[in-house]
Amino acid sequence: MTTPTARNFIDGQWVDPGNTIDDTDPGNGEVIGRLARSGAAEVDAAVQAARRAASGWADLAASARARVLREAADHLEASTDDWGRLMTREMGKPLTEARVESARAAAILRFFAGEAHRPFGQQYASDQAQTWLFTRRSPVGVIGIITPWNFPAAIPTWKLAPALIFGNTAVLKLADDAALTGLRLIEALDKAGIPPGVINVVIGRGTEVGAAMVEHDGVDAISFTGSTETGRGILEKASRSAKRVQLEMGGHNPVIVRSDAALDSAVAAVALGAFASAGQKCTATRRVYVARDLYDSFTEKLVVKASGMNVGYGLDESTEMGPLVNEVQLTGVLEALERAEKQGKLHCGGKRLTEGEYAKGCYMGPAVFTDLPHDSEFACEEIFGPNVAVWPVDDDEEAIERANATSYDLSAAIFTRDLDSAKKFIEQVKAGIVHVNSQTAGAEVHVPFGGLSGSGYGPHEQGRAAIEFYTQTKTIYLDPA
């Protein structure tokens, strides 16, 4: 079997790469593929192709664009298991999660195909009786899309699908750690007959490919998901040429557990929120504020749950938590947790697993901390791994104040049976997404998704909200001659 290579897709052609690097399975260190190395020249070719394709694609009936999305969804649905396996091998998430994600990507395509037949634009009454006054939505042009490795099927899909249905063309940079997975989406769109140049993919380092996209005059807008630091750098560069920018960045998501909570479901939801995908989600649960009378029992149950988790290779069906995505990420997380250990109490996990099969991959145990200062690095900064900390709180006011104390505002959850407390939490918590009695992660396709302040910038993604970023508004005064 030949090793698959993540190649560039430019102007409808798969381009044979010059330089490549290894694509490694973080679960066992095996080289599973090659990744093209590209730079500004490939980005330029991709942008030129996207510009040439722009008017033809925008001029199609929306239903013709929808047909391409739907047919791509058909192709992907025929192979969600296979797609999930590739995802697991490339970036480590357990197959059970990877399958859900590949099915979700197909569902995203179907939702956005449906946008072709939903109303958009608005009609107004003009002050002049004879005037028809309304707005029209038109494509923005060429969208530069930069996606991360943690949802390598879903995130490229939820950016590309709205870009395409609203008539834009795109240049996509897929993250190295999961580029082969992301390319399945492009293969499906190619098979579905998307015209040349409408989507283009360039594989390479963020500092070269991403930077070239952000600086290219032929790119009209940038949609990015990744770290807060990288996102802010993109915003700074992109604003020099007044590009439209949408940033989905880090999170440091809090959970409040009140005295009246259903304790076991709160524990289960915190474990799921903190450790699914080995905590590598911007929506992962990191901080838990528990009513003092439940604090000991909650912590004990969470530690039992975390220490009992089956950490292993993602393709084993019994695995509950897989490896981290690569050595660099693992080392960064372990070092941050070592610093945390000096400031608080580590109850379980948090260390590299090296025995037996673990020695070949990027494995660590899920970590639960307590007794960390509220101003510690752990309490304030996102550490992108399977780690969560618990603190006792005395009342709702303190819980909400602590929940709101970081510079990230993505997702937040409360566990309670008390309606008034839930309502107060919904009103007062700083977050783009609020959960009552469910985990902090998750994003249904048909509703807006996005954070505030350090977590997000620009219009939200998904659902009908996507139209805000991927279209521009024209106001039309139509008068009789």
Using the rule CB under 6 A, is 282 a contact of ligand UN1?
yes
- Minimum distance of ligand UN1 from residue 176's CB (angstroms): 16
By the rule CB under 6 A, 329 interacts with ligand UN1:
no
User: Given phi > 0 = left and psi -120 to 50 = alpha, else beta, which region is 320?
Assistant: alpha
- The 31-36 sheet, strands edge to edge: 5-6, 31-36, 20-24
Which residues contact residue 12 at a Cβ distance below 8 angstroms, ignoring those fewer than 6 apart?
Answer: 49, 190, 195, 196, 197
State yes or no: residue 225 binds ligand UN1 (CB under 6 A).
yes
CA gap 84, 448 in Å, rounded: 25
Is residue 457 near ligand UN1 by the rule CB under 6 A?
no
Instruction: Measure Cα distances from 136 to 119, 166, 217, 295, 467 in Å.
Output: 11, 12, 25, 54, 12
Among 246, 283, 299, 421, binds ligand UN1 (CB under 6 A): 283
Q: Which is nearer to ligand UN1, 53 or 106 (CB)?
A: 106
Is 317 assigned a catalytic role? Answer: no
- For residue 267, state whether it binds ligand UN1 (rule: CB under 6 A): no
Does 92 bind ligand UN1 (CB under 6 A)? Our answer is no
Smallest distance from ligand UN1 to CB 287, Å:
16
Residue span binding ligand UN1 (CB under 6 A) among the ranges 82-90, 234-242, 328-336, 439-447: 439-447
What does the block give as tokens for 36? 């093209």
Cα dihedral across residues 352, 353, 355, 358: positive or negative: negative
Q: Tokens 């750690």 — which residue?
A: 177
The minimum distance between CB 362 and ligand UN1, in angstroms, equals: 18
Based on the shown chain and the rule CB under 6 A, indicate whether residue 409 belongs to the binding site for ligand UN1.
Answer: no
- With contacts defined by CB under 6 A, name the span among 81-89, 294-302, 385-393, 441-449 that binds ligand UN1: 441-449
Burial class (CB in 10 A: 0-12, 13-18, 19+), 236: exposed
Dihedral of the CA atoms 108, 251, 333, 210 (nearest 10)? 60
Nearer to ligand UN1, 228 or 421 (CB): 228
Angle at which helix 62-77 crosses helix 95-114, to 10 degrees, equals: 160
Active site residue 348: no
Nearest to 345 by CA among 382, 295, 293: 295
The least distance separating ligand UN1 from the CB of residue 365, rounded to whole angstroms, comes to 21
Catalytic choice (90, 248, 320, 468): 248
User: Based on CB atoms, which residue is closest to ligand UN1, 139 or 250?
Assistant: 250
User: Could you tell me the smallest distance in angstroms from the CB atom of residue 100 to ligand UN1?
Assistant: 9
* 468 in contact with ligand UN1 (CB under 6 A): no
Find the part of the chain contacting ligand UN1 (CB under 6 A) among 56-64, 264-272, 374-382, 436-444. Answer: 436-444
Q: What is the spatial distance between Cα 358 and Cα 92, in angstroms, rounded to a whole number? A: 13
Catalytic residue chosen out of the listed positions 71, 97, 282, 468: 282
Distance CA 197, CA 220 (A): 16
C-beta of 286 vs 301, nearer to ligand UN1: 286
Report d(CA 282, CA 287) in Å as an integer: 13
281 near ligand UN1, judged by CB under 6 A: yes
Measured from the CB atom, is 171 or 247 closer to ligand UN1?
247
Tokens coding 161 = 């699908």
Q: Is 150 in the site for ligand UN1 (CB under 6 A)?
A: yes
The residue among 171, 112, 161 whose CA lies nearest residue 141 is: 171
- Alpha carbon separation from 127 to 17, 87, 479 (Å, rounded): 60, 56, 12
Tell which one of 71, 176, 248, 320 touches ligand UN1 (CB under 6 A).
Answer: 248
Total residues in contact with ligand UN1, by rule CB under 6 A: 11
Rounded least distance, CB 160 to ligand UN1, Å = 15
Q: Which residues are catalytic?
A: 248, 282
Residues near ligand UN1 (CB under 6 A): 148, 150-151, 225, 248, 281-283, 441-443
